[in-house]
Structure 1
Amino acid sequence: MALQPWRKGIVTQIIQETPQTKRFFIQLPELESFDFIPGQFISLDLPIHEKPHKRLRSYSIASAPDGGNTIELVIVKLEGGAGTSYLFSSVKEGDEITLRGPMGVFTLPGDLQQDVYFICTGTGIAPFRSMLHYINNNNLPHRNIYLIFGTRTKTDLLYYEEMRKLSEELPQFHYLPTLSREQWEGCCGYVHTVYQQLVEQNKNGDILPNSLFYLCGWKDMVDEAKHHILDMGFDKKAVHLELYG
């Protein structure tokens, strides 16, 4: 895909999703339809530095393509982060923002004939939310899809009720939110134990299930997950990743 030009965006709505996370809805008035592939991202040019390359911040698109010209980003405020500090303190509904996109190849394969594991932490859920709604909206044939979303406490869970509802609507979609700092009715601990147990359950004797793994979130989690998945015997081609931070 050719590099897209810089465009004007209008922030039409801001929602406080969790104590440290906001959802930003951005309309591109120049376009009737902002076309992208679920899993792609955009870059924002923010007035936070004199040097152009130090003004850029990239975020996965959290909404699914719907033929319209408004997209959603979900952004966590980083302590000391110039980009998120500006977005959280200075950007208001109705403001203009400069963006470029879509970009990226962290996208679904042409068919979904394998079990798919979406493994994420924090706002790493964004591209998977886009993919899941796209699959559901277009009735794409698929096998098991596991969303393993790790965070510290229940108040940090992004799109919790939405994902629970989607798990009731979308066949063979399994929503597995996992908390590391709070006991609750769902999964506790870290994401690695969850996907390792699922792989063991899905094995046919010693034969590994035909699977794809999509990893998105903080670098430490992604690196550790990739190590475990390869150590279980999967080929590196089965692992796709997107790093945050």
Structure 2
Amino acid sequence: MLEQWYNGYVTRIVQETPNTRRFWIQIREKDCFDFKPGQFVTLDLPIHEKKNKRWRSYSIASPPNGTNEIELVIVLLQGGAGTTYLFNEVKEGSELVLKGPLGSFTLPEQLDKELFLICTGTGIAPFRAMAHHIHTHGIPHQPVHLIYGCRQQCDLLYAEEMWQLQDQLSGFKYLPTLSQEDNSWTRHKGYVHLIYEELLALDKRPAYFFLCGWKEMIDEAKQRIMAMGYDRHDIHLELYG
């Protein structure tokens, strides 16, 4: 099957944190851009002659909503050709060539075990889509823990929205943890690993683990989760960089 590329139109851009932007992209060739929460799209950016050096993949941060518009949340990487182009050249009204949806980093058919969604930085994107999807469709679920690591409070993405969701979605816990925050931050401090280890210390319950973010965090989480006695088949990964 030939890969289907689409023209996406940037309808809106919001500077969310000092180095992160939200991009809304409309795929006008489709009435409804259908995908599963957790999937991604690949952009073909005019930054190189070789296509494999032009492609950049980003998780879809919005849940499927029956429209042809999706949201991506992208962090500016110092010296990164892809994000430099997106931040410097792309404006509202710009066109972007993309393909998707792609990937199998998606929720199990039955949410019959506790769900640990563990992420850093923009790795929250697929989990935001998943949490809203569970809420909107009233999907039966065991407790869901969104464990989100950032350096400082100003780096947290979708924080207000996640606190609201914690009030609205039964069994959903939002657990941000900051590694470089000062004493004004009274919630979790340090790294994501301490949180899931603490939650499971007394009772190793059946669980699914979804990990999204930088390779170092994912490698360490995988080792620690397996050291607690979980099977590698319980662990699902989406690597960034």
- For Structure 1 versus Structure 2, the TM-score category normalised by the shorter chain is over 0.9
Distance of 2:179 and 2:94 partners within structure 1: 37
Distance of 1:62 and 1:186 partners within structure 2: 25
CA 1:3–1:22: 2 relative to 1, 3 Å: farther
Residue equivalent to 1:194: 195
Q: Which amino acid aligns with 2:16?
A: E
Residue equivalent to 2:233: 237
Q: Please give the secondary structure, in 2, of the residue aligned with 1:225.
A: helix
Residue equivalent to 1:37: 36
**Alpha-carbon displacement from aligned partner over 1:49-74 (angstroms, at most 9, x marks no partner):** 11111100000000000100000000
Q: Please give the secondary structure, in 2, of the residue aligned with 1:174.
A: strand
Alignment of 1:46 with 2:34, yes or no, is no
Contact 1:39 1:130 in 2 (8 A): yes
Distance of 2:63 and 2:124 partners within structure 1: 13
Alignment of 1:212 with 2:195, yes or no, is no
Alignment of 1:224 with 2:220, yes or no, is yes
1:170, CA displacement in angstroms? 0.4
What count of residue pairs does the alignment treat as equivalent? 239
Residue equivalent to 2:109: 110
* Dislocated runs of 4+, deviation >2 Å: none
**Alpha-carbon displacement from aligned partner over 1:193-238 (angstroms, at most 9, x marks no partner):** 000000114x1xxxx2010100000000000000000000001110
Distance of 1:180 and 1:3 partners within structure 2: 45
Contact 1:45 1:55 in 2 (8 A): yes
Residue equivalent to 2:164: 165
CA 1:193–1:3: 2 relative to 1, 3 Å: farther
Alignment of 1:84 with 2:83, yes or no, is yes
**Alpha-carbon displacement from aligned partner over 1:69-94 (angstroms, at most 9, x marks no partner):** 00000000001000000000000000
Residue equivalent to 1:96: 95
Q: Please give the secondary structure, in 1, of the residue aligned with 2:201.
A: helix
1:39, CA displacement in angstroms? 0.3
**Alpha-carbon displacement from aligned partner over 1:116-169 (angstroms, at most 9, x marks no partner):** 000000000000000000000000000110000000000000000000000000
Distance of 1:110 and 1:30 partners within structure 2: 29
Residue equivalent to 1:64: 63
Gaps of 5+ in 1: none
Residue equivalent to 1:127: 126
TM-score (norm 1): 0.96
Residue equivalent to 1:149: 148
1:3, CA displacement in angstroms? 6.4
1:23, CA displacement in angstroms? 0.2
1:38, CA displacement in angstroms? 0.4
Contact 1:21 1:75 in 2 (8 A): yes
1:185, CA displacement in angstroms? 1.8
Distance of 2:187 and 2:18 partners within structure 1: 21
Distance of 1:30 and 1:7 partners within structure 2: 7
Q: Please give the secondary structure, in 2, of the residue aligned with 1:124.
A: helix
1:186, CA displacement in angstroms? 1.2
Aligned-residue RMSD, C-alpha: 0.8
Gaps of 5+ in 2: none
Distance of 1:190 and 1:34 partners within structure 2: 36
Q: Which amino acid aligns with 1:46?
A: L
Distance of 2:221 and 2:2 partners within structure 1: 31
